[in-house]
Amino acid sequence: MTDQPHALQDLAPPNRLADETSCGAPATAGLRIVLATAGDAGLLSHMVHELADFEKLSHECTITPEAVREHLLGPRRSADALIAWLGEEPVGYAVYYRTFSTFVARPGVFLEDLFVRQDFRHHGIGRALLKEVGRIAHSVGAGRFEWTTLKWNSKARALYGAVGARGMDEWLLMRMDAAALTRFTCDGAGKPHEGCRCRGEAHGHPNG
């Protein structure tokens, strides 16, 4: 168990058998959903690259096993991961982390990634992973369980609608990548702030 406030891995079962009762038909017989460990860093990194390729975003994917080991599977992790297995074959994964909503004054869970490998789709594995993370959200009394999906992925959107999720079309996702965040916080002033990772060497502000 970690002492980091965003980690939920203590709530995830170490070795859960996903069946039709726990995860909804038509789950594949013998599907296991387990909490990822440090030894899964290479596997998770590889599957994230597979997801990026599927989403046509490989040019944005810079994940490495070392980064996974430090930030996702290490003692000071920022998120948690589940891996779905059929026998000895890894068939998919989910990454999630804790959030908080001021409107409902309750914790929430955000599902960062949900991915099933191409040869194992249409067997209920994605739904099983989704339900397992949902179970974890329910366990912490989450007021919200949220995720994003690409607009062109009609099959994923159909699944999410079928399980009761709704699109929040009135909200627009805003994002700063690491480079923009460095420029924003450091301003190229040459004076590193507390916790600075660039030693004050950022060049310029994103808005000039």
Active site residues: 160
d(CA 79, CA 72): 5
d(CA 41, CA 131): 23
Question: What secondary structure does DSSP assign to the chain, as a single string?
Answer: ----TT--GGGS-SSEEP-HHHH-SSPPTTEEEEE--GGGHHHHHHHHHHHHHHTT-GGG----HHHHHHHTSSTT-SSEEEEEEETTEEEEEEEEEEEEETTTTEEEEEEEEEEE-GGG-SSSHHHHHHHHHHHHHHHTT-SEEEE---TT-HHHHHHHHHTT----TT-------HHHHHHHHHTT-S-PPTT-SSTT---S-TT-
CB within 8 Å of 61: residues ≥ 6 apart: 48, 49, 52
